[in-house]
Amino acid sequence: MKAILTTLIFAATLNALTLDQAIDLALQNRAKIAEAEAAYYAANERENAAIANFLPTIGASQTRYDRETLTSGSRQTTRFYANLNLFAGMGDYAGAKAASWSKDAKRYELDAAKADVVLEAKYAFYGYLKAKDTLAAAQENMKATKKQAKDAQAFFDQGLIGSYEKHAIALEALQSEQTALSALSALQVATLTLQNAIAAPLPSEPIAPKPPQNSALNRDKLNDLTLKNRSEIKSLLAQINAQKEQKTKAVSPALPSADLQIAKEKYEYENGFSGIDEQTTTTITLAWQLPGLVKPYFDREAALYDQRALESRLTDLKRTLQLQLASAFERLLLAEKAFEVARESLKLAEENLRIAQNRFDERIASASELIDADAALWKAKEQYTLYYYDKLLALADLERVTESNLAAR
């Protein structure tokens, strides 16, 4: 029998949905990831387009001249040429660098989107399990109170208790049934929330992960991890670097430019003239348009203010992240301590209900004592479930803030 039970449990575990599987589904299916990926690929193409400015342009033309005077003949000119941008006032170089930094910013935004989706999946997954455990506890409480109501009715029929005690216990049974119905509704909402988080129907029943051990985390080290790992910070730093290149690009029209052209021309003569002439020409064109300093000046000032705006946003982001870190860290410490208290409280509440039930059965305790003990047990189970998952959620928040796997530390 034990072997059969073990086999059934093992089979159920194989069909269960783990947290890692839920996260994989969310990363594969969420439109938020697809949107961030598309933005990154677009930035990659813009970088390629910026690099293409350094490639030569190739062209060809053909011109035919017809004259009425016979002796002058007619001439046809075929021309092949290649142009190469040598220097455009640093504009092309700055544009390519800016495009590269912008691509990096989009890549970090993609990483941030993935981290957000992972956190949402964790919240939905833990929320489902919490709702499921709450429902199980509510149904267990409902079953116990219904038994108490049935026993109270029997005691009343035997004249052992009065109508007040019978009705009080019956009312407690009805209230526990209402609580179970509310818990069932909450589980249905949690199921829909989890399905939305993974963008797919539940492939199997979610299974709870192992509870984390009490943390030995250092807040200062967590703050260093946040500043080092956070993708939003990296993205803003890349945007600031891109904006610095935009300042250089803005003043490039005020600087000289240089172009190289290599052309090969072929001349054909008719009507009295014969032969084919060919020549190859190499031309370097230097240009400096003056005065053209007014617009580049204002463009550079605008780019400078855009850079300062990004730097201010970065400062504000760091402060926000420090607040998020402090909040998640304190929440985890509270959840760890509160969970230990809730675990001991649950043991005491179970023993207290057992004693109250025996005292009531022996006509020593009143119905109110039994109801109070039952309510205390339900409250203890509720607190146990709350802080069990609050501990997991606080750790998930810390991992999102620091963008690292703290459970493995």
Q: Distance between the two ends of the chain, CA-based, in angstroms?
A: 40
Q: Is the peptide bond before 209 cis (omega within 30 degrees of 0)?
A: no
Encode the chain in three state secondary structure: CHHHHHHHHHHHHHCCECHHHHHHHHHHHCHHHHHHHHHHHHHHHHHHHHHHHHCCEEEEEEEEECCCCHHHCEEEEEEEEEEEEEEECCHHHHHHHHHHHHHHHHHHHHHHHHHHHHHHHHHHHHHHHHHHHHHHHHHHHHHHHHHHHHHHHHHHHCCCCCHHHHHHHHHHHHHHHHHHHHHHHHHHHHHHHHHHHHCCCCCCCECCCCCCCCCCCCHHHHHHHHHHHCHHHHHHHHHHHHHHHHHHHHHHHHCCEEEEEEEEEEEEEECCCCCEEEEEEEEEEEECCCCCCHHHHHHHHHHHHHHHHHHHHHHHHHHHHHHHHHHHHHHHHHHHHHHHHHHHHHHHHHHHHHHHHHHHHCCCCCHHHHHHHHHHHHHHHHHHHHHHHHHHHHHHHHHHHHCCCCCCC
C-beta separation of 382 from 345 below 8 A: no
> Is the domain defined by 21-56+90-258+293-402 classed in CATH 1.20.1600.10?
yes
Query: What pLDDT is stored for residue 67 in this prediction?
Result: 56
Q: Which residue has the tokens 């049935």?
A: 150
Q: How far apart are CA 115 and CA 132, in angstroms?
A: 26
Residue 409: the pLDDT is 53
What is the tens place of the pLDDT at every residue in 355-372? 888 887 887 877 778 888
| Residues 6 or more apart in contact with residue 108 via CB below 8 angstroms | 231, 232, 234, 235, 238
Q: What is the pLDDT of residue 320?
A: 95
Q: Which of 74, 38, 79 is nearest to 61 (CA)?
A: 79
Q: Domain coordinates of the chain in residue numbers?
A: 21-56+90-258+293-402
Query: How far is 349 from 137, CA to CA, in rounded Å?
Result: 14
Q: CA nearest 332: which of 407, 404, 382?
A: 407
CA max distance for the chain: 140
Distance between CA 245 and CA 103 in Å, rounded? Answer: 14
Are 172 and 164 in contact, with CB atoms under 8 Å apart? no
CA distance to 57, 107, 341, per residue, from 49 (Å): 14, 18, 62
Residue 180 CB coordination number (10 Å): 21
Residue type, 37: E
- Residue 60 has a pLDDT of 75
pLDDT at residue 285, as a whole number: 67
Tens of pLDDT, residue by residue over 107-136, are: 999 999 999 999 999 999 999 999 999 999
Q: What whole-number distance in Å separates Cα of residue 143 and Cα of residue 302?
A: 71
Please state the separation of Cα 271 from the chain's center in Å. 76
Give the span between the Cα atoms of 63 and 91, in whole angstroms: 34
Distance, CA of 80 to CA of 84 (rounded, Å) = 14
pLDDT of residue 310: 95
Side chain identity at 251, as an amino acid letter?
Answer: V
The residues of the chain scoring below 70 in pLDDT are 1-14, 65-75, 86-87, 89, 215, 267, 269-277, 285-292, 408-409
